[in-house]
A and B are shown apart, each in its own frame.
Chain A
Amino acid sequence: MIVNNSRGPRSAESFYRRYVRAKNVLFKGACIAATVAILTLLALVAGYLISKGLSHIGLHFFTKLPIPPGMEGAPGGMKNALVGTVILVSLAGAVGIPVGMLAGIYLSEYSENSFLGTPVRFIADVLTGVPSIVVGILGYELFVVPMGHFNGYAGAGALAFILIPIVARTSEEMLRLVPHSYREASIALGASKARTILEVVVPAATGSLVTGVMLSIARIAGETAPLLFTALGSRLLTLNPAEPFPSLTVQIFAYASGPYRDEQELAWAGILILIALVFAANLVVRLAVRRMQTGEAAR
């Protein structure tokens, strides 16, 4: 930056002014340029991923199993990986959503006069920042070592570990959005606290709770690192989580890093599925938030 320290009494005053004004224009332009640069770059990335995925996706992606390179019909599809991801995410959700939801209920409804509230909230926040590869190692030590081999339960466990703090914090925020008067009215009618929570507060927040859960499900469905040494991946279609278990992300990683062109094309198609999932979740959340805001404004 050019700094002008020699400000004379009169004529330099106008020079200083000009300098300030030039700086103003310069930085305003820089902010606009930064925004344009970022949006262009990110649009290029997203656009490239989507167009590449669209050009390689087809029915075979969903209906066929992987066929080894060199054999007739290779590379097949990723049916096994899709089924695997759905099962892994369902298992993780079956554990993670109830636990996270209960923690969220505690944080929003019970923590007011408790010494637990602040540390739990803080730890949940910090846990959402733990690198997911580290969670993978925890899954390895807790599930793979005792069972003696890589397995799907370990992958689901690692995903649940990531899911719980996210669900806890989002559901707390969603429950806090329910007006306090609802709770007061319910208590005033003689309902117990449990009844107030289960039949008034949670139903009032159901829509936003569901969208919050959707976002976190989309997040864990896209996780690769925690599955690398827990579920490991598999090119077979398996429904038994006690075995090494396929997942979309790990298979994409293997295909993308591999040398075969047609497998790389499958990887692009897989990426498109993940992006579509994230996009749908974000869109639903946006729409739900807008509906809530307009609903509140009308009230």
Chain B
Amino acid sequence: MRRRGLTADAILAGLARAGALSVILMLVVLVGVLIVAAWPSIHLFGAHFLVSSDWRPNELHVPLHDRLGHVVMEDGEVAMRIIPPSFGALPVIYGTAVSSLLALLFAVPLSLGTALFLVRLCPRTLKTPISFMVEFLAAIPSIAYGIWALFVLAPFLQLHLEPALRSGLSWIPGVNNWLFASPAIRNGVTVSTPLPLTGRDMFSGGLVLAIMIVPIITAISRDVLRSVPRAQVEGTLALGATWWQSSWEMLCFSRAALFGAIMLGLARAAGETMAITMVIGNNNQIQPSWFAPAQTMSSLLANEFAEASSTLHRAALTEVALILLVMSLLFNIVARWLVVGRGPSGAAAH
């Protein structure tokens, strides 16, 4: 009887340890497999991959010219020079960075304001429904936000907001060239042509990301602000501070954890795929304008991976995924260290 109990103990302990170890193994396998699969691209392009903006999956055939500029003929056919395929991740890194930062620009003030409202102003009866709504909206799948953005947000931007912004902002020097014109080279001269407004661009990508990360940043910063010691707030009030002054004190007191909350939002925005694929326009070029179509790392993967035919193309895409993974791991590690890892007050929030 006693022995059977002991062996059952050993079995459960072993199984539980195996479950725990498999979590570690998963991370190792994830990173390892991606590195191996991306190796042809890492090996061929090296660090140049990060700064190049070429993205040509197919080889180019260009006619050979001699010194005088004439086409070279061989056996009655035009001689061709073959330029091998080339890959560079700069446009998608740029796209991810700008769209996520745009999202933060919209989402952070709104989220922090709402978190403050929930912690300090909200009537007790409203607290539960609002919290429920925030959590429910954080759980809605990204494809749902994507389809909304595609059929509602993008047409609205194209027909109403973007033309209004164009006519409202164009008079400011420089803005027209930056936001509403696309440079084109004609006969060796750079001319700027008016940018066609499509509603599927960096701006609408940033907006839909903002809508998606607002619930997350709000929920985490609400917990963070709630864990600010009471004495801290009461101290400021006792010194005669106004509501805003003591709130400001709360924000300053928990600035590290709030920064962590924002980074978690940033990580989510950078890794978000479906919604942004549907509205960012999927154009693999760097354009300074926010109203020009762009591409992010995740949308590039969603668009091209299933149809990639050559090994090198797939390896290059996998390397993009690897960059995305490393970035999100870094964001998550720093954010969790800031939110949870700092003393008992932060830990109490989770």
Where the two chains meet, the residues of A that have a C-beta atom closer than 8 Å to any C-beta of B are 20-21, 23-24, 26-28, 30-35, 37-39, 41-43, 45-46, 48-49, 98-107, 109-111, 116, 119-120, 122-127, 129-138, 140-142, 150, 161, 164-165, 168, 192-195, 197-198, 215, 218-219, 222-225, 228-229, 232, 249, 252-253, 256-257, 264, 267-268, 271, 274-275, 278-279, 281-282, 286
State whether A120 touches B23 (Cβ < 8 A): yes
Give every chain A residue within 8 A of B13 (Cβ-Cβ).
110, 193-194
Task: Tell me the interface secondary structure of chain B in the complex.
Answer: helix
Can you offer 23 A-B residue contacts whose CB atoms are under 8 A?
A35-B122, A38-B218, A42-B215, A45-B211, A46-B136, A99-B19, A100-B19, A103-B23, A123-B26, A125-B332, A129-B267, A130-B328, A131-B328, A134-B328, A136-B305, A137-B301, A141-B34, A218-B139, A229-B306, A249-B143, A252-B147, A256-B143, A256-B151
State whether B143 touches A274 (Cβ < 8 A): yes
State whether B148 touches A48 (Cβ < 8 A): yes
Task: Tell me the interface secondary structure of chain A in the complex.
Answer: helix
Give every chain A residue within 8 A of B247 (Cβ-Cβ).
27, 31
State whether A256 touches B278 (Cβ < 8 A): yes
A-contact bits for B150-183, CB 8 A (1 contact / 0 none): 1110000000000000000000000000000000
With A20-B242, A111-B20 as known contacts, state yes or no: A34 contacts B113, CB within 8 Å: yes
CA gap between A228 and B317 in the complex, in Å: 14
B93 to chain A, nearest CB (A): 14
Q: Does B260 contact A (CB under 8 A)?
A: no
Give every chain A residue within 8 A of B30 (Cβ-Cβ).
127, 130, 134-135, 138, 161
Closest to A278 in B: B139
Which of A42, A195, A253 has a CB less than 8 Å from the CB of B214?
A42
State whether A215 touches B139 (Cβ < 8 A): yes
Give every chain B residue within 8 A of A120 (Cβ-Cβ).
20-21, 23-24
A158 to chain B, nearest CB (A): 11
State whether A49 touches B144 (Cβ < 8 A): yes
Give every chain A residue within 8 A of B245 (Cβ-Cβ).
20, 24
State whether A268 touches B147 (Cβ < 8 A): yes
A-contact bits for B81-114, CB 8 A (1 contact / 0 none): 0000000000000000000000000000111111
State whether A138 touches B110 (Cβ < 8 A): no
Closest to B327 in A: A131
Closest to A129 in B: B332
State whether A232 touches B147 (Cβ < 8 A): no
With A103-B23, A228-B306 as known contacts, state yes or no: A141 contacts B37, CB within 8 Å: yes
Closest to B36 in A: A141
